[in-house]
Every structure is written in C-alpha cells, then in structure tokens.
A and B are shown apart, each in its own frame.
Chain A
Amino acid sequence: MTETTKDALPISVRNVTKTYGKVFALNDVSLDIRSGEFLTLLGPSGSGKTTLLMVLAGFTRPDRGSLKFGEREVIRTAPHLRDVGMVFQNYALFPHMTVAGNVGYPLRLRNVPKAEAARRIERALETVQLGGYGDRRIDQLSGGQRQRVALARSIVFEPRILLMDEPLSALDKKLRDRMQIELRHLHEKLGMTTVYVTHDQREALTMSDRIAVVNHGRIMQLATPRELYNQPANRFVADFIGDSSFLPVRRQGDVVVFGDQKLILAQPVPDSPTLLLMIRPERIRLLREGSGEGLNLFAATVSEVVYQGDSFLLYARTDDGSEIAMRGAIREGTVSALPAIGERVRLSLDPADTVLIDGEEVRR
C-alpha cells in the first residue's frame, strides 16, 4: 500500500432521497464505497447517477438521508468545505487563467506558499503528462489536454475523494480508450477513493473495481464488472451491460425447462416466479447439423447474418419464435462457410454460461 492509500476515505451513503416534484431522482439510495476504491455509477440518462454524484459534491441538496466521508457527516456541509476533487463533464477550466493558474487555484485558496505551490503544480502536471505546459492558455489546448488539466487541478490539493462526471464523453473514441487505461493507472498510483459517472457500459467495465448500476433513482446492482456481466441481478442490468438474448424458461419441479427441453445448469436458480435465460452472443456456439455435441442445445433457423470484419453476428429464431443473437470469430476461409439465411442450425450453450435471471420487471 502506498502512502496516499492510507489517506483515502470510505464514503457511506444512507437513505438518500431527492425528488423533483413527484419524480424521484434518488429513491432511498444507500451505498458503501470502500476506501481507495474505483466505483462507477452507471446508468442511462435521467437514471439519477449524476444527481447522486452532485449530492456527493454538495451541489444538489437531497430531501433527506445521510452522507459520511470517513466518520464525518457531510450532508449539510457546503461544497467548498468538503475537500473532494471533481472533474466536470465540460472540464470547467477557467478561461481567464493559464494552465498553471487553473491547477494552482485550489492551492491559492489554501494559502500554500508560492514556491511550494509551483512545485506541486508542476508535479500534478507531470502526473497527467503535461509537464511544462503551465504557461499555456486554456484555449490553446486540445480536448484531451484540457481533460488532463482538469484532472491535474482536481488532484493537486490531494483530496481524499475524487469525483468524475463523464470526463471522457467529449473525447473521440481512440483517445477515450487510451484515457480510460490512463485514468485507471492514475487511480492505482494515487489511491484516492474515486466515484466515476458514465453511461458507457464498456467504459465502466474497463475502469471500475465495482459498478453500481443505477436506474429510476435506485441502485439496481452493485458488483464487480465480472459479476455484473456474468451474473446480472435482473433484466435491466443484463440488458444495459452488454448485449444479450432472453429466452422465456420455467420451473418444472426441480428442473428448469425451455419449451420441453431440460436445461443443464451450473448455477443456483434465482428465487423468482418468472425466469429468463440470458444468452450472451459471444458465449453461445454454432454447431452445424450433425457435428459435435454441446450440452444445452437450441435448434433454430438463421434469420440474419451480418459480416462485421473481425467477427460475424448471427440472428436465429427458435421454433417457439424467440430470437437468439450469436457472435462468432471470423477466420481466414470461414467467410464463405457462414450459414445462409433460412438454414437450420443448432446453437450450444455451456452450462457455465447458462445464466438464469429474475425476469420480474423492476418496480419503479
């Protein structure tokens, strides 16, 4: 553990509710964020994820609830006394100050002596790989550089909690991919408790220790990226994270069946009256008529085949009318061997990938 990790603070959110008129932006949210953790709030727009972040920063006053940074109750603390760093979606860099002016702003407010401030500014800029950029004006910087300056400004005063509100959404895809890895490394290096807001599930999966999926002002599931992808708690999470097909299945005594086909399962069955079988397109395999045996087999007719360069996407309809999407790798020479529309195929699913989820619609 590095020195800074010791300084990180856990965040405890308890029963926080925020309503706008009759709409719940946050509906009795409770959440424990561990010290030094990278936690992502993931959800569609209007889900309440940004509202929750704004409550953490102190810009939104909730109707009720408790918020603790470490042992300190801060729900009524003014934003400027919370001592958390924040990276804004549009960066909010002060256009009337230079890069060094921006990064040094929190130090000036804290009356850090000039020489030390200069040292810390340069160190923060080096951390975000912008060493020597101090004299530049903000409008001379590219989007990616602004992003880094905003980051430097939010870490230069060594806050123990760092909040980020979709900081990468304005960057182009390639830069975004690189910054995701970079932010991840930076977090490992600095070790501050980080709360990150995004609507991009891939970004969330890439960066987070844990992800809280938010919808309708509630937390749908809080889990590691792996758990979230492999074992989603409900249909919303399964739908939101990755692509999936859902087949209606039902309990028949001790076993679960799809149509009249018994499913071989490796995982416990969720305790719910309605069950859905979730199929990730890359986990299901294509078997040609007559070739080798899988364990859970679904007979289907190909309805669409899409060539996508590195892979192909196949849609097939089972005999009861459910659609299954399947993704397969394309190797040299297999392109011509792709099944044709209308061809009968069998799709096979390993028991480990045969995931049943709670099919109940999530209550508002």
Chain B
Amino acid sequence: MSATNLNAAGLRRDEAAERLALFGLASPALLLVLVVMVIPVGWLFYVSFIGADGNFSLENYVRMIDEKSYFRIFVTTFEVSLLTTGLCILIGYPLAYFMSCLPVRIANLCLITVLLPFWTSLLVRTYAWLVLLQKKGLVNSWAISLGLWDEPIKMVHNMTGTLIGMVHIMLPFLILPVYGAMRSIDRDYLKAASNLGASPTRAFWTVFVPLTTPGLFAGALMVFVLCLGFYVTPAVLGGGRVILVSMKIVSNIELFVNWGAASALGVVLLGITVLILWAASRFLRLEQIAGGGH
C-alpha cells in the first residue's frame, strides 16, 4: 500500500458506517410517515376514482364540476379562509408588535396568554363561543344592558360566529411566527432609519414592516392552509349555514356513505393546498413557517 493512501479505505468505511447509522436513526420516523401518511393518502386517491358500481370512474370528479353547489362550497371555503386570515393579520400583527416592544420577561408572559388557548380543547373553546355569542348569551345581554344595542344581535350560526371562532383559534398560528420575526429584527435598523431622517411612522412602514413580511407571510399561509380543512369550529358555530369543504366530506360519508365522493373532495382540497404551498415556496422558504425566524 502506498503511503498516499494511508488509512484511506478505513476512513471511507467509517464514513459509510456513519451514514448507515444516521439512516437507522431516521427509519422509525420514515416508517411512521409511510404508514400514517403515504398509504392512507394513496388509498384516498384510489378510492376517489372508484364509482358507485365499484369500477374505475371519474364520476366523483365530474360531479364536482357539474353540480353548482360544490362550486359554492369551494367559494365559501376560500372566502372564510381568506377572511379569517385577513382578520388574524389585522388583530395579530399589532399584538405581536406590541409584545415585541415589551421587555422579554413581560413579553414571555404575554406569549403564554396567547398560547393558553392552545392547551385548552378545541371543542371547549368552540362551545364557549357558542355560549357567549348566542341570542341570550353573555355578549348580547351585556351589550343590551350597557345600551350598545337594543335588540339581541344574531352572532352565531352564521358567518359572523364562524369567523369569530376561527379567528380566535387561528390567532396563535399567526402571532407566533410574526412575533419571532419581530424579535429577531436588530433594533439598530430602526435607529439607522431614524438617524437617516425617517419619522417613527416612516421607519415602521419602510423598514420594520418589510423586514417582518417573511414572518407575516409564513403565519398567514399557515392560517390559510389550516382554515381550508377546518371542521369542528365552523361546523358548530356556523350551524349548518356556512358549509365548507370539510363539512361536505363529513356529510358525504355520514349521510350518503359515499366514500368515493368524500375522497375526491379530499384529494381536490389536498391538491389545492399543495398548489398554494408550492406557489408560496417561490416567495419564501417554507422552513420559516416552522422556525418563524429568518
């Protein structure tokens, strides 16, 4: 063996062994993804192409195009998702900004209060809104006794209720990445802007907002995508008057026992979600959704 190849074979073997060990460590996760993700989605895909007679058919997809009601459901789903996302931005961004201006200790306390609903059951939160918003609920009776309005306002079993509940539940998903982005901004940028002649308002819009848009975009995307498939809250607070894709899937299975139709809806929803994520990934790195940083 020549001296220039000193230990070369051994070092290569070590490298290969290390790689194998890494793969070994990852294999449980890979297996899990295969069992709970790839196989069910594949099956869903398969079922969606099976017609009522048990043979291959496109009828489940054709129905979606033919029937106007399906189109309406998709429009409603997008409408609700967009409105929820918009409201989350309107409420969440200023809140995140406020928190990012506080000393870290107090901000952490605020963060806990933002996260608190996360640790409460989704169902509990949804029914709590039902109790609060109904005709003789807390909000109506207080508002009337305070003279804000005279007649009870219908705030539940309609779009208003659906949005209130969804915004409440989605808010943390927006606040967390936005807050993270805001915290990671070096305050010297704002000082520099101010030194160069920008009023606080000007500095906010020309420096702070652009620097936090990746976080905002990540949060908004997260909320929007989650909204597309949201079921419990809109089902309870919408009271059957706001019909989303997820509800149609449920009714297809529970009412009509039509797994093919339900699967086709699921596939289309999945396709749309993937499409949106793909489009978004051209504007931002998707890891920001997870990290919230830069």
Contacts and interface: CB of A to CB of B under 8 A. Distances in A.
B192 A96 contact: no
Given A94-B207, A96-B211, A88 B191 contact: yes
A80 B195 contact: yes
A144 interface: no
Contacts of B192: 86, 88, 92-94
B188 A88 contact: yes
B103 interface: no
B42 interface: no
Given A90-B186, A90-B188, A92-B191, A106 B196 contact: yes
B234 to A, nearest CB: 36
Contacts of B200: 80
B195 A86 contact: yes
A80 B200 CA distance: 8
A161 to B, nearest CB: 11
A143 interface: no
B186 A92 contact: yes
Contacts of A57: 191, 195
Interface in B102-152: none
B207 A79 contact: no
Contacts of B54: none
Chain A interface size, under 10 / 10 to 19 / 20 to 34 / 35 or more: 20 to 34
B154 interface: no
| Interface of B (DSSP majority class) | helix
B197 A92 contact: no
A85 interface: yes
A334 B197 CA distance: 61
Interface in B168-202: 186, 188-189, 191-200, 202
Nearest to B190: A92
Contacts of B203: 80
Contacts, number: 65
A206 to B, nearest CB: 25
A154 B195 CA distance: 9
B210 interface: yes
A106 B188 contact: no
B243 to A, nearest CB: 41
A86 B194 CA distance: 10
B193 A84 contact: no
Interface residues of B, number: 19
Contacts of A88: 188, 191-192
A307 interface: no
A315 interface: no
A94 B185 CA distance: 11
Instruction: Give the residue among A58, A81, A88 with the most B Cβ atoms within 10 A.
Output: A88
B182 to A, nearest CB: 14
Contacts of A96: 207, 210-211
A1 B194 CA distance: 31
A299 B200 CA distance: 66
A229 interface: no
B192 to A, nearest CB: 4
20 contacts: A59-B195, A78-B194, A78-B199, A80-B196, A80-B200, A84-B195, A86-B192, A86-B195, A90-B186, A92-B186, A92-B188, A94-B192, A94-B207, A94-B211, A96-B207, A109-B196, A109-B197, A109-B202, A110-B197, A157-B196
Given A88-B188, A95-B211, 16 more contacts: A57-B191, A57-B195, A58-B194, A58-B195, A80-B203, A81-B197, A83-B197, A86-B192, A88-B191, A90-B186, A92-B186, A94-B192, A94-B193, A105-B196, A105-B206, A109-B202
A90 B188 CA distance: 8
A79 B203 CA distance: 12
A125 to B, nearest CB: 16
The winner among B193, B196, B202, B211 for most chain A CB atoms within 10 A is B196
A153 B188 contact: no
Contacts of B198: 80, 105, 109
Interface in B83-109: none
**Interface-centre pick from B191, B197, B210 (highest chain A CB count, 10 A):** B197
B195 A105 contact: no
Contacts of A82: 195
Interface in A94-143: 94-96, 105-106, 109-110
Contacts of B195: 57-59, 79-80, 82, 84-86, 154
Contacts of B194: 58-59, 78-80
